[in-house]
Amino acid sequence: MIAKHDIEAEAWKLLERSIIYYQCRPIGTVAAIEPGSDALNYDQCFIRDFVLSALAFLIKGKPEIVRNFLIETLSLQSQEPQIDSFKPGPGLMPASFKVESENGREYLTADFGEHAIAKVPPVDSCLWWLILLRAYVKATGDISLFHQKHFQKGIKLILQMCLVHRFAMYPTMLVPDGSFMIDRRMGVYEHPLEIQVLFYTALRAAGDLLLRNDDSTCNLYNSVHKRLASLTYHLREYYWIDLKRLNEIYRYKGDEFGKEVANKFNIYADSIPHWLTEWLPDTGGYLAGNLGPGRMDFRFFTVGNLMAIITSLASVQESQSIMNLIEFRWNDLVGNMPMKICFPALEGMEWRIVTGCDPKNTPWSYHNGGNWPVLLWLLAAASQKTNRLELARKAMKLAEKRLVEDSWPEYYDGKNGRLIGKEARKYQTWTVAGFLVAKAFVENSQHLDLLSFESHE
């Protein structure tokens, strides 16, 4: 086995090799550099993927690339109102971008989903962008960047797009299927936890970044705080599942009419999956994957649950319960490679209907219950935040044992993540960066400042 410091050195070498230059300045990192494989769009810089590279660079004291990235992606943001509904609306940030050149002149092309497989719009990009901007300010103390007029305008456009009233009367954000890390049809439309937690985090970040220098920005600032209060209440109150709540749902009455009813969303007890009643430990709990009319998605989603811990959306008690669940169900949720993107997988007829027979998302593969090493960083940060470092260390050991040997794959397959993903890229950049960030979070709790917020219990 390779020594620990060699693994770190190799990871840094790979991360540096993935850097994209634009007019001689570093501005991002490519998604993967697997020699000999069909690049598809893995030669682009994805906003969500770059967040991991950015955190690694910020922690290392190399903020320049992050600053350049924030500037260039802001210039790609869709700004003008569109009459053409095939074009991105104002505020939207691209999923990914690429440097191209013509007659020696370099330019950037952005993909807002028009090129992506199944044409999925990236709802999470603008949320990550705000979260990263705040992390950059926290790491460097450089407030001059977000004070600039066009940065304030960019922040405003994102907020206006996210806060606008549409047809939903929930504080959560209504989104289409596959509009974030899970970017293929997986039944994650409506009000998925993964987006709601990013929405909450982005609003908290915006609260720190928006300058209040006229009536309109003061009003926007107030809207941010109002929405945050109702969003936090809604997620904590209605998405939370533990044994007590499960008992309540089990005995819910259906079809209640009126304002003050217990079963607000008309969830039927029969929709509780059989696996859950056995699976949930007495001391464990988690936030449900989705909630809507007559619908509670009982699957466990990792990004939402762990980000909720890191950002204090989950209370101290709830955070401990989530970590208890991970500890108790380690084989299911972490297995041989930290960690599962969601649990359990959709199988049989459910897989056919929900994924549309997607051959890449077969049960226990890719987004459908695959293990993604990039998620190690979330487990490390959440362990640090909850003082459960023994869990992070155990997870790090698994990653150290395999990642180098397996050439830093994008994901692993199987119930316990023993197989390298069937179509996984090797040398996936966010696997590499996620490992470096995880290591840093385990070693130093101060790095949590980059992403955490004061708790309002």
The stretch among 5-13, 15-23, 41-49, 221-229 that binds ligand GLC (CB under 6 A) is 41-49
The stretch among 46-54, 63-71, 78-86, 437-445 that binds ligand GLC (CB under 6 A) is 46-54
46 lies in the binding site for ligand GLC (CB under 6 A)? yes
State in angstroms the smallest separation of the CB of 59 from ligand GLC.
Answer: 21
Write out the binding residues for ligand GLC, residues 367-426 only, by CB under 6 A. Answer: none
Select from 344, 308, 91, 37 the least CA-distant residue to 195.
308
Of 49 and 72, nearer to ligand GLC (C-beta) is 49
Size of the site for ligand GLC (CB under 6 A): 6
Q: How many whole angstroms separate alpha carbon 373 and alpha carbon 360?
A: 18
31 lies in the binding site for ligand GLC (CB under 6 A)? yes
Q: Which residue is nearest to ligand GLC (CB)?
A: 31
Q: E strands along 226-328, which residues?
A: 240-242, 285-287, 290-292, 295-297, 300-301
Select from 69, 33, 72 the least CA-distant residue to 52.
69
The stretch among 44-52, 65-73, 150-158, 380-388 that binds ligand GLC (CB under 6 A) is 44-52
3-state secondary structure of 131: helix
Of 43 and 272, nearer to ligand GLC (C-beta) is 43
134 lies in the binding site for ligand GLC (CB under 6 A)? no
The stretch among 43-51, 102-110, 239-247, 434-442 that binds ligand GLC (CB under 6 A) is 43-51
Amino acid occupying residue 43: D
49 lies in the binding site for ligand GLC (CB under 6 A)? yes
State in angstroms the smallest separation of the CB of 30 from ligand GLC.
Answer: 9
Write out the binding residues for ligand GLC, residues 259-288 only, by CB under 6 A. Answer: none
327 lies in the binding site for ligand GLC (CB under 6 A)? no
Interface residue with ligand GLC, options 14, 20, 45, 48 (CB under 6 A):
48
Is 239 buried (19+), middle (13-18) or exposed (0-12) by CB count in 10 A?
A: buried
- Beta strands 25-29 and 45-46 are unpaired
Of 48 and 98, nearer to ligand GLC (C-beta) is 48
Contact 425, 37 (CB under 8 A): yes
Cis peptide before 339 (omega within 30 of 0): yes
DSSP state of 238: I
Of 48 and 385, nearer to ligand GLC (C-beta) is 48
The stretch among 45-53, 98-106, 283-291, 400-408 that binds ligand GLC (CB under 6 A) is 45-53
Q: Which residue has the tokens 């505020």?
A: 91
Of 30 and 323, nearer to ligand GLC (C-beta) is 30
Select from 194, 41, 193 the least CA-distant residue to 118.
41
Of 402 and 425, nearer to ligand GLC (C-beta) is 425
- Beta strands 19-22 and 25-29 are antiparallel
For residue 319, give Cα distances in angstroms to 91, 163, 284, 387, 453: 32, 27, 10, 10, 14
Three-class DSSP labels, 172-204 = CCCECCCCCCCCCCCCCCECCHHHHHHHHHHHH
124 lies in the binding site for ligand GLC (CB under 6 A)? no
Length of the chain: 457
Of 340 and 385, nearer to ligand GLC (C-beta) is 340
End-to-end CA separation in angstroms for the chain: 45
As a dihedral over the C-alpha atoms of residue 415, residue 116, residue 186, residue 345, rounded to 10 degrees, the angle is 0
Tokens matching residue 415: 């119930």
Contact 305, 286 (CB under 8 A): yes
Of 130 and 249, nearer to ligand GLC (C-beta) is 130
Contact 298, 272 (CB under 8 A): yes
State in angstroms the smallest separation of the CB of 31 from ligand GLC.
Answer: 4
State in angstroms the smallest separation of the CB of 76 from ligand GLC.
Answer: 16
As separate numbers, helices (DSSP H) first and strands (DSSP E) second, the chain gives 17, 13
Contact 23, 444 (CB under 8 A): no
Q: How many whole angstroms separate alpha carbon 123 and alpha carbon 94?
A: 9
State in angstroms the smallest separation of the CB of 425 from ligand GLC.
Answer: 8
State in angstroms the smallest separation of the CB of 16 from ligand GLC.
Answer: 18
Of 53 and 312, nearer to ligand GLC (C-beta) is 53
Of 329 and 425, nearer to ligand GLC (C-beta) is 425
State in angstroms the smallest separation of the CB of 159 from ligand GLC.
Answer: 24
Interface residue with ligand GLC, options 130, 131, 155, 181 (CB under 6 A):
181
State in angstroms the smallest separation of the CB of 146 from ligand GLC.
Answer: 25
State in angstroms the smallest separation of the CB of 456 from ligand GLC.
Answer: 31
Task: Kindly give, in sequence order, each residue whose CB lies less than 8 Å from that of residue 375, ignoring residues fewer than 6 positions away.
Answer: 302, 303, 306, 338, 339, 340, 341, 434
183 lies in the binding site for ligand GLC (CB under 6 A)? yes
State in angstroms the smallest separation of the CB of 183 from ligand GLC.
Answer: 5
Enumerate binding residues for ligand GLC (CB under 6 A).
31, 46, 48-49, 181, 183
